[in-house]
Amino acid sequence: MNRVATISMHTSPLDQPGTGDAGGMNVYVVEVARRLAQLNVEVEIFTRQTARDLPPVVELAPGVLVRHVTAGPYEELDKSDLSGQLCAFLSGVLRTEAMYDPGRYDVIHSHYWLSGQVGWLAKERWGVPLVHTMHTMAKVKNLLLAEGDNPEPKARVIGEEQVVEVADRLVANTAAEAGELIDLYGAGHDRVAVVNPGVNLSVFQPASQGAARHRLDLPQDAHILLFVGRIQPLKAPDVLLRAAARMLIEDPSLRDRLIVACVGGPSGNGLARPAFLAQLAVELGIADVVRLVPPAPQAELADWYRAADITVVPSHNESFGLVALESQACGTPVVAAAVGGLRTAVRDGVSGVLVDGHDPGDWAHALHGVLTRPKLRERLANGAPEHAAAFGWSATAASLADIYTSTLRHMRAVPVAANF
């Protein structure tokens, strides 16, 4: 196998994670592509062009190209409207392949259901296998809706069902996600493989908390609770703020030292209320302890993890939870919701604490317990990097390369006639 066509239609691997539609999936695509290239597997990533001045092709790393495909207006196009641009995007993908000799791509790996729709047709045109990763699933999200969040439309549910039916292999981030693909979407057991995402252990690693706080201009004696991610109902940053308000009511002595830092930008339904967190902080009477910070590049983000006492991940659902893994790799324990992939990303009682439900009182109790018990926090901090060390991107890429090879071998052994 020489080359993989990776399809990431709705969000570019070049975008800064933490705002808009850029998040853990962006990190996944970038890190996997880099490490596949190190295994001598070239990767070409197809994504939608979102600015007129972007070059048609960008070299992300040796052996990794990002191809910008024109499909719809460059800007101001909501993700919910992208399904109307599937034909235009597919045309750009097929036109690129047509410029080369037949057989340029050995495997297609699509990410998210929109990309899966494109991969479905490209697979039939090129006669190569389609490997698909959902990252999030409409049926799962609709079962775990946050208050104020909108259910995913029927069109997405149908689109996901179609991709599950036609994909040669489905890659799940965790065993729990594999079970959801099988139980909710009817995927065959033999077509589902579990490959855990990883963490960049050379960037996210333990270092001095004091030095990190100095670089970020944070008080050395502060109690710092950290949220990292997109500001939207699904990620539930409001649960952290409500829990912090409850903590201050129950223990007023914390107010002089408590800092609640939220690193990220509005996304999804959060775009309709970009000032929501700031307004909520005022309503709860905790604006003096809340710091809203724009998305940060990885090196700075690692400092935020190191500076924090606890990273808080209260999401209503996560296919995996890369933020939790990054924090633990930096030696900072995590208090996270006991949902989805977070039950794999966090080892309860060893590298962090898992909380059932989203009641602010329960979260206040869990956070206060870790924050005010130094021995417990130290034990979790010691267990965090050891747990994270088991999740390296090199292992993820190697597993994916094996899946590509075996899927390609199976297709060649059982030829499938092209539909057009």
Q: Which residues are annotated as a binding site for UDP-N-acetyl-alpha-D-glucosamine?
A: 16-17, 24, 230, 235, 318, 326
d(CA 49, CA 141): 28
Burial of 242 per CB tally in 10 Å (0-12, 13-18, 19+): buried
Query: What is the DSSP secondary structure assignment for residue 11, as one 8-state letter?
Result: S
SS3 content of the chain, % helix, strand, coil (to 5): 45, 15, 35
Place of tokens 């990252």: 135
Query: What is the DSSP secondary structure assignment for residue 331, as one 8-state letter?
Result: T
Binding residue numbers for Mg(2+): 305-306, 308, 332
Backbone phi and psi for residue 202, each to the nearest 5 degrees, phi listed first: -85, -25
Taking the chain, what is the end-to-end CA distance rounded to the nearest angstrom? 24
d(CA 420, CA 407): 22
Query: How many residues are listed for the chain in this entry?
Result: 420
Are 286 and 260 spatial neighbours (Cβ–Cβ below 8 Å)? yes
Binding residue numbers: 10, 16-17, 21-26, 79, 112, 136, 156, 230, 235, 305-306, 308, 318, 326, 332
Q: Where are the alpha helices (DSSP H) in 174-271?
A: 175-185, 209-215, 237-250
Are 198 and 393 spatial neighbours (Cβ–Cβ below 8 Å)? yes
Are 109 and 132 spatial neighbours (Cβ–Cβ below 8 Å)? yes
Assign 139 to helix, strand or coil.
Answer: helix
Hey, how many other C-beta atoms are within 10 angstroms of the C-beta on 56?
12
CA distance to 225, 242, 267, per residue, from 287 (Å): 14, 12, 22
Binding residue numbers for 1D-myo-inositol 3-phosphate: 10, 21-26, 79, 112, 136, 156
Residue 9: alpha-carbon gap to chain centroid: 15
**CB within 8 A of 283, min separation 6: which ones?**
none
Are 367 and 361 spatial neighbours (Cβ–Cβ below 8 Å)? no
Token representation of residue 260:
């609640």
Query: What is the DSSP secondary structure assignment for residue 231, as one 8-state letter?
Result: B
Token representation of residue 116:
């899966």
